[in-house]
């Protein structure tokens, strides 16, 4: 494969660049590709890896490329292939795939420094794409390491054929990054974040687990297997008892015999509510769920107060947002688990909550009529149906058999096995058939307490469905038929909170694994809330705490300006000339820096020793340092005592000194220079 360098090589300099430069750039590129593995097309990473390996073997040479036509075809084919990925990987994934393809193709024709810089830039963009797409905490160290590699690669390319050891490169780039950290923090805190995050990329085609906006047998089942967090709740004050931890999301009204659906365009007045008992103050962090429903503890008193989150009530006490939730949101609420409606159910609402397809589930309808006939009131009918469910030999199972078209008949008379959604559906249908207005509520039940983060974590696996029935005089009453059929299953679901509520005995059984997991979750939650979720509202509250709340934009601008100035001043102060070098110019400072690097471990230059003589002396005791140091000393002498050199020469010398490091000698620890 190895071919000789072409005679017309535009920048022959890099062909002589040390292998570590090429190694660093390739490592940085492959790292960036790896970070995008999850959303680029499957064939992208192997393509990049293949080209990189080939290039690593032939980096000195100018590779023989296929002809122009073939190259053009290659570009077109691969670009189309990458763009075809648009549907499976989303727009960002497709763009990342395209970047990987371009970087790989560019890599195959790199010859000069400019080409390598382009490859590095592509890697930088890939890192950005990965950051945009995935912000989980565990990826943070990977991103930092990748950024570090990229900076090292840039340093190496900048130093050209004089690139120092990879170790020195990484130390230098690490220091640069560390110096830039305060600026990053400043910009993070005070750069105005426009509400609605214009940089947020819509995640098309990506599946987000969460409650659906309809309920049919099997729809919650998928969720039960998912341990993804659905929401986190931080309480300000007491926690509600486990039996009250019903997290309300959607209310479903229309039933076609198989599936329950939402009532989209119902603009009714809700029956007035009366709250009593304990009020719970809490803050919810809701993961993106593609729905436009906010989740609240049954039942919130009012809408969230946050101005950045536009929400509205529906007649059935759903809290909806105008747009689907594509990012996680935060909001404060106050809920009263004890509440009752005052007044009667308006007739149009009674009508939609009594609606039932007459043709479907005939046997169930018959059963409902029988039970209703033997009950004296609606409340007695509810008890009778619950009794029927309790005594009918029904089983709670996460893997129920499939149900036919008349799903409720099938469930009640044939399979007798089901899950919360099955029983809620059956119960609501029986209620409606018996003339009691009923509706399905979906949401979550329970939650596990994280004692490190002091919050309640509700997972997707806690998804639940229950019913509400209208009883005259009481209003909407929550009835959870699953609790009747399988009280044990519900206790289990509520068990997540047990460690806190069950006292010391349960805490003792909590293994260190649980502890670790909870700590990790808490850190993650903090990361999601405070870092990834840091938005304009957070900025405003920060300004408030700083006492600058009144003038939002101006305060941000001032803080940013003052912070950046302070940062620059600190940098300048850290780089101030010290001691004898007080009045020294930049060249002398660089030389002193070089001397300082040698001082501790190698040798000290006598005041009367010329730079070249010094380098020669060091070269005699430490031959491995000789060539590098001699070249630096020569360049210094040329700049110091020679005719005026171009400024770029000085800059290159100063950079070379910054990057140069005496590698500690392994063998003898002596101090030959002393």
Nearest of 343, 344, 339 to residue 477 by alpha carbon: 339
Structure tokens, 466: 């229950």
Bridge partners, 215 (sequence order)? 260
CB of 589 to another protein, least distance (A): 10
Q: Interacting stretch for another protein, rule CB under 8 A, among 61-69, 207-215, 367-375, 608-616?
A: 608-616
Q: How many CB atoms lie within 10 A of CB 421?
A: 24
- The residue (of 81 and 584) whose beta carbon lies closer to another protein is 584
- The residue (of 392 and 642) whose beta carbon lies closer to another protein is 642
Please say if 8 is a catalytic residue. Answer: no
CB of 636 to another protein, least distance (A): 9
CB of 171 to another protein, least distance (A): 25
Please say if 151 is a catalytic residue. Answer: no
Q: Which residue among 488, 513, 572, 607 contacts another protein (CB under 8 A)?
A: 607
Q: For residues 3-32, which are near another protein according to CB under 8 A?
A: none
CB of 673 to another protein, least distance (A): 16
Q: For residues 622-641, which are near another protein according to CB under 8 A?
A: 637-638, 640-641
Residue corresponding to tokens 């032939």: 58
- The residue (of 13 and 610) whose beta carbon lies closer to another protein is 610
From the list 406, 410, 464, 529, the catalytic residue is 464
CB of 179 to another protein, least distance (A): 26
Nearest of 236, 229, 138, 227 to residue 454 by alpha carbon: 236
CB of 584 to another protein, least distance (A): 7
CB of 160 to another protein, least distance (A): 23
Q: For residues 91-120, which are near another protein according to CB under 8 A?
A: none
CB of 672 to another protein, least distance (A): 20
Q: Which residue among 4, 511, 582, 608 contacts another protein (CB under 8 A)?
A: 608
- The residue (of 87 and 596) whose beta carbon lies closer to another protein is 596
Task: Evaluate whether 464 touches 444 at the Cβ level (below 8 Å).
Answer: yes
Structure tokens, 88: 């499976």
Q: For residues 638-667, which are near another protein according to CB under 8 A?
A: 638, 640-643
Q: Which residue among 492, 610, 620, 627 contacts another protein (CB under 8 A)?
A: 610
- As a whole number of angstroms, the distance between CA 405 and CA 403 comes to 7
Nearest of 129, 64, 68, 124 to residue 96 by alpha carbon: 129
CA-atom Rg of the chain in angstroms: 34
> Crossing angle of helices 647-659/166-190, nearest 10°?
100
Task: Evaluate whether 243 touches 491 at the Cβ level (below 8 Å).
Answer: no
From the list 420, 422, 495, 585, the catalytic residue is 420
From the list 480, 529, 538, 585, the catalytic residue is 480
- As a whole number of angstroms, the distance between CA 408 and CA 123 comes to 56
Q: Interacting stretch for another protein, rule CB under 8 A, among 37-45, 50-58, 110-118, 604-612?
A: 604-612
Q: Which residue among 37, 194, 531, 606 contacts another protein (CB under 8 A)?
A: 606
- The residue (of 189 and 587) whose beta carbon lies closer to another protein is 587
Task: Evaluate whether 625 touches 619 at the Cβ level (below 8 Å).
Answer: yes
Q: Which residue among 404, 613, 627, 671 contacts another protein (CB under 8 A)?
A: 613
Residue 46 contacts another protein per CB under 8 A:
no
- The residue (of 398 and 642) whose beta carbon lies closer to another protein is 642
Task: Evaluate whether 632 touches 162 at the Cβ level (below 8 Å).
Answer: no
Q: How many CB atoms lie within 10 A of CB 592?
A: 19
CB of 117 to another protein, least distance (A): 33
Structure tokens, 254: 């229309």
CB of 591 to another protein, least distance (A): 6
What phi and psi, each to the nearest 5 degrees, are found at residue 5? -60, 140
- As a whole number of angstroms, the distance between CA 533 and CA 550 comes to 23
Q: Which DSSP string do the residues of 44-83 spell out, in sequence order?
A: HHHHHHHHHHHHHHSTTS-PPPPPHHHHHHHHHHHHHHHH
- The residue (of 266 and 593) whose beta carbon lies closer to another protein is 593
Please say if 44 is a catalytic residue. Answer: no
- As a whole number of angstroms, the distance between CA 94 and CA 202 comes to 13
Task: Evaluate whether 118 touches 106 at the Cβ level (below 8 Å).
Answer: yes
Q: For residues 570-599, which are near another protein according to CB under 8 A?
A: 584, 588, 591-592
- The residue (of 427 and 636) whose beta carbon lies closer to another protein is 636
Burial classification of residue 641, based on how many CB atoms lie within 10 Å of its CB (0-12 exposed, 13-18 middle, 19 or more buried): exposed
CB of 129 to another protein, least distance (A): 48
Nearest of 606, 634, 602 to residue 621 by alpha carbon: 602
- The residue (of 283 and 609) whose beta carbon lies closer to another protein is 609
- The residue (of 477 and 581) whose beta carbon lies closer to another protein is 581
Query: Strand 395-396 to strand 417-418: parallel, antiparallel, or no bridges (unpaired)?
Result: parallel
Query: What is the number of alpha carbons within 13 Å of residue 213 lying toward its C-beta?
Result: 12
Query: What is the number of alpha carbons within 13 Å of residue 139 lying toward its C-beta?
Result: 19
- As a whole number of angstroms, the distance between CA 226 and CA 463 comes to 10
What number of chain residues touch another protein (CB under 8 A)?
18
Query: Strand 395-396 to strand 463-471: parallel, antiparallel, or no bridges (unpaired)?
Result: unpaired
- The residue (of 503 and 642) whose beta carbon lies closer to another protein is 642
Structure tokens, 649: 């020469």
The catalytic site residues sit at 420, 464, 480
Residues that bind another protein (CB under 8 A): 584, 588, 591-592, 606-613, 637-638, 640-643
């Amino acid at each position: 494969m190895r071919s000789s360098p072409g005679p017309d090589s535009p920048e022959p300099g890099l062909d002589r660049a040390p292998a570590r430069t090429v190694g660093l750039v390739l490592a940085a590129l492959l790292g960036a590709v790896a970070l995008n593995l999850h959303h680029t097309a499957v064939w992208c990473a192997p393509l990049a890896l293949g080209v990189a390996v080939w290039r690593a073997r032939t980096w000195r040479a100018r590779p023989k490329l296929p002809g122009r036509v073939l190259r053009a075809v290659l570009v077109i084919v691969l670009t189309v292939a990458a763009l075809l990925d648009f549907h499976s990987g989303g727009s960002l994934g497709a763009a990342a795939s395209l970047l990987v393809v371009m970087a790989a193709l560019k890599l195959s024709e790199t010859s000069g420094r400019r080409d390598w810089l382009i490859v590095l830039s592509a890697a930088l963009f890939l890192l950005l794409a990965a950051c945009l797409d995935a912000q989980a905490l565990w990826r943070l160290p990977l991103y930092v390491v990748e950024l570090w590699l990229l900076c090292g690669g840039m340093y190496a390319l900048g130093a050209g054929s004089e690139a120092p050891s990879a170790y020195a490169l990484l130390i230098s780039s690490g220091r640069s990054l560390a110096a830039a950290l305060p600026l990053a923090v400043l910009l993070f805190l005070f750069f105005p974040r426009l509400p609605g995050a214009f940089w947020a990329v819509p995640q098309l085609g990506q599946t987000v687990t969460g409650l659906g906006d309809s309920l049919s047998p099997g729809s919650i089942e998928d969720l039960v297997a998912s341990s993804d967090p659905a929401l986190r709740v931080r309480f300000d004050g007491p926690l509600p008892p486990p039996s009250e931890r019903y997290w309300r999301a959607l209310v479903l009204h229309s039933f076609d015999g198989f599936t329950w659906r939402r009532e989209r365009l119902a603009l009714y007045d809700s029956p007035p509510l009366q709250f009593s008992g304990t009020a719970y103050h809490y803050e919810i962090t809701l993961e993106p769920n593609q729905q436009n429903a906010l989740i609240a503890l049954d039942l919130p008193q009012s809408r969230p107060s946050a101005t950045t989150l536009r929400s509205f009530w529906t007649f059935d006490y759903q809290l909806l947002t105008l747009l689907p939730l594509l990012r996680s949101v935060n909001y404060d609420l106050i809920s009263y688990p004890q509440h009752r409606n005052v007044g009667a159910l308006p007739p149009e609402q009674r009508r939609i909550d009594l609606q039932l397809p007459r043709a479907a589930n005939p046997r169930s309808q018959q059963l409902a009529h029988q039970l209703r006939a033997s009950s004296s009131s609606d409340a007695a009918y509810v008890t009778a149906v619950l009794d029927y469910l309790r005594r009918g030999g029904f089983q709670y199972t996460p893997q129920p058999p499939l149900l036919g078209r008349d799903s409720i008949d099938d469930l009640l008379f044939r399979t007798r096995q089901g899950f919360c959604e099955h029983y809620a559906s059956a119960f609501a249908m029986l209620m409606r058939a018996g003339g009691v207005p009923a509706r399905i509520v979906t949401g979550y039940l329970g939650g596990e307490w994280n004692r490190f983060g002091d919050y309640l974590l509700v997972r997707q696996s806690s998804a639940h469905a229950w019913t509400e029935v209208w009883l005259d005089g009481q209003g909407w009453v929550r009835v959870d038929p699953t609790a009747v059929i399988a009280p044990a299953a519900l206790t289990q679901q509520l068990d997540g909170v047990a460690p806190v509520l069950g006292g010391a005995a349960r805490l003792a059984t909590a293994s260190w694994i649980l502890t670790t997991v909870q700590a990790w979750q808490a850190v993650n939650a903090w990361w999601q809330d405070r870092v990834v979720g840091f938005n304009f509202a957070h900025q405003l509250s920060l300004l408030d705490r700083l006492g600058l709340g009144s003038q939002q934009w101006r305060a941000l601008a001032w803080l940013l300006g003052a912070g950046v100035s302070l940062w620059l001043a600190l940098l300048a102060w850290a780089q101030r000339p010290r001691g004898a070098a007080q009045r020294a110019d930049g060249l002398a400072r660089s030389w002193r820096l070089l001397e300082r690097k040698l001082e501790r471990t190698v040798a000290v230059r006598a005041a009367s020793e010329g730079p070249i003589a010094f380098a020669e002396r060091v070269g005699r005791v430490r031959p491995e340092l000789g060539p590098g140091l001699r070249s630096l000393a020569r360049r210094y002498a040329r700049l110091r005592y020679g005719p005026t050199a171009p400024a770029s020469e000085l800059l290159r010398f100063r950079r070379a000194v910054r990057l140069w490091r005496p590698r500690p000698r392994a063998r003898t620890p002596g101090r030959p220079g002393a």
